[in-house]
Structure 1
């Protein structure tokens, strides 16, 4: 005689392996509560689920599982330290194409000024008060010249942690809802007397060039007249110099020498605007031919300012900086203090050239071309003289109206 089928309570069936499976309907969907060896356990699971449904507290098992997984991930994210976050951030910056020099600068600032305070701390534990105290201590110890860039680096790091960095993939799961780096006034630029405000006259630029070593005279003149950066000067090659049919000498700028990290290396400009063709003034062009004959090898790829005469090795930026500093000291030695220019560094040459261009009435677009900038706000300061002249004109109109 065939064995009769086992009669089971509603919501329970038996799996092929013999286990009792408990299931319940909720919101038009069947939810499996689990599989049990004993029918009593399956009945207990059903009873608990029905009670939770009656009280409005029922959470389906699949949702419970998802919640447990998310909670585990949240605990894991909560354990991520600022050091670990920084390494992820640096790797991401490299992946999206930030220059080697830029990433090196961020790493250096992080290692020197951020890691000692925040490195081992969990990202989620860093508060706005912590950042305010850190910034205040850094400002007191090192001044705004150190505190501001370090703060900006920390800000970028925590924007990444919050999933709000530019070009950040949507798949990134934020570690924090908002960045705690919100110190009022910390991003404000405060000028220091480091040569950034000094403007050398054309005559003073020629004086400094005259005191520089022979192989660097042209470097001083180029930066002081067409506003080249130090790294751009040292990356120039013979093939970058060309003369057009009208006799105008032009200089192609398309690379820069970097000295950050391990050794010297060449990189492209930060933006396309940095690649530019600049006219060399006639009084400087006169020196170009002599310099090429005396100091540069004949191949087009030969460096314009090699470490040794007609050599193939780059001059280290510090070598040119030191030569410039010595030339400045020699050029203005013996002058009365009131006749001397202010503090001057190599960047003063570029600043001076752009300032004079602004004084001569260069348009914003022309200044951006000479400077190699894609952001107009960076060169607006060089138009201050033009704005002063406009103000004087406006004042004269007012005087005329009262006549």
Structure 2
């Protein structure tokens, strides 16, 4: 028979028939809490109780019962409770089903520590998952665990692997202006402006196919972006807000696109204000898979002199690159791209060194001009740079 509990200043310990030591204490809610395991001696049990007492004194005590919910159940609830677009919700459920639940789903939140997360991530990599899938899955687990911390189910987020939230991606190709026009010509008149608008405005596919006649103001040479269309796995298109609040924006369009858009609106768009700007020959909204086959995208890309594997989204990449080359500031790029953070905008600025070279050339011309003026005026010892 187990011995009676020993009296302590904080908590209780008792020796079980096995010789192991059991530790417990009364929580602030008056409920007795037992250690999740027994201890080999009273010293070890006392250390555990001392740590629990310290948590209470610092105000960092968490109800351990809250952390005993299974990760899979908590993750499902997390997805349900968050305001997510249908496509994002679909993506998160797929990540949970394919990459997270099989490893972490049956574990209690409180039992998932940094070592568990590292092993899970390593198992994904060893199992042949793509770097992108691993990074997305890690970001999702980290976000769920961050909410668990806020809910006081766990004390600290166990996702602490530096760099695990990003995946190295191959450099995407940038089309030249000549190649953009060549691709637009190859695609044909109905979708010519679709191509040009993607490249010269930087709008996303979903934002382009959601444009209505009333969103295009040619007098002001601008496009108003207020919605997007997302395609779910079953092919259904759903209208949703842009990816972030920053996605609702007015994007000026270059003069070279205004006349092209006038022709497009006149020939391919119904006169009603709500009419979609880009539709197929039968009036349907373009869908990625069928649109690619309809316009013979792969062949047209090759015909335009673009590299194999050039994606429609690379036209947005091209547009952002061109905007950066034009001298747009970080804030201007963020607005144009519809991003709420500087990260993406800085990528284009860091990669655009042609502008820096142009500035250096102009600076050289200024220095040369000023130096020559000083030399003509009698100044001595001023070298005249060569251009």
- Where on the TM-score scale, by shorter chain, does this alignment land: which range? 0.7 to 0.9
Matched, 1:149 2:136: yes
Q: Who is 1:318 aligned against? A: 289
Structure 1, gaps ≥5 residues long: 1-51, 164-171
Q: Who is 2:206 aligned against? A: 231
Q: Who is 1:304 aligned against? A: 277
- Give the alignment's Cα RMSD to 1 decimal: 3.4
Give me the whole-angstrom Cα distance separating, in 2, the residues matched to 1:392 and 1:224: 23
Between stretches 352-361 and 260-269, larger displacement belongs to 260-269
Quickly say closer, same or farther: Cα 1:71–1:303, change in 2 above 3 A: farther
Aligned mate of 1:269, from 218, 242, 246 = 242
Matched, 1:158 2:141: no
1:394 Cα deviation after fit: 6.5
1:375 Cα deviation after fit: 1.2
Quickly say closer, same or farther: Cα 1:232–1:389, change in 2 above 3 A: closer
Q: Is the 8 A contact 1:213 1:323 kept in 2?
A: no
Give me the whole-angstrom Cα distance separating, in 2, the residues matched to 1:390 and 1:268: 36
Between stretches 125-134 and 372-381, larger displacement belongs to 125-134
Q: Equivalent residues in 2 for 1:146-295 (5 A)?
A: 146-163=133-150, 172=151, 174-192=152-170, 197-244=172-219, 248-260=220-232, 263-295=236-268
Q: Who is 2:97 aligned against? A: 111
Quickly say closer, same or farther: Cα 1:318–1:71, change in 2 above 3 A: farther
Q: Who is 2:45 aligned against? A: none
1:143-164 Cα distance to aligned partner (Å, 9 max, x none)? 312111111111111122222x
Q: Secondary structure at the match of 2:246?
A: helix
1:108 Cα deviation after fit: 1.9
1:64-113 Cα distance to aligned partner (Å, 9 max, x none)? 8943277799574354111111122112313xxx4333333222211121
Aligned mate of 1:67, from 23, 26, 30 = 30
1:243 Cα deviation after fit: 2.6
Quickly say closer, same or farther: Cα 1:238–1:159, change in 2 above 3 A: same
1:261 Cα deviation after fit: 5.7
Matched, 1:360 2:360: no
Q: Is the 8 A contact 2:207 2:225 kept in 1?
A: yes
Larger Rg belongs to = 1
Give me the whole-angstrom Cα distance separating, in 2, the residues matched to 1:279 and 1:64: 61
**Could you tell me the TM-score, scaled by structure 2's length?**
0.72
Give me the whole-angstrom Cα distance separating, in 2, the residues matched to 1:366 and 1:75: 48
1:115 Cα deviation after fit: 0.8
Matched, 1:327 2:305: no
Q: Who is 1:83 aligned against? A: 72
Q: Secondary structure at the match of 1:373?
A: coil
Q: Is the 8 A contact 1:259 1:316 kept in 2?
A: yes
Q: Who is 1:27 aligned against? A: none
1:218 Cα deviation after fit: 1.4
Q: Is the 8 A contact 1:199 1:351 kept in 2?
A: yes
Between stretches 299-308 and 227-236, larger displacement belongs to 299-308
Give me the whole-angstrom Cα distance separating, in 2, the residues matched to 1:289 and 1:389: 32
Give me the whole-angstrom Cα distance separating, in 2, the residues matched to 1:107 and 1:144: 18
Quickly say closer, same or farther: Cα 1:402–1:375, change in 2 above 3 A: farther
For these two proteins, the number of residue pairs brought into alignment is 323
Give me the whole-angstrom Cα distance separating, in 1, the residues matched to 2:337 and 2:68: 46
Quickly say closer, same or farther: Cα 1:184–1:234, change in 2 above 3 A: same
Structure 2, gaps ≥5 residues long: 1-6, 13-25, 36-61, 369-381
Give me the whole-angstrom Cα distance separating, in 2, the residues matched to 1:217 and 1:394: 37
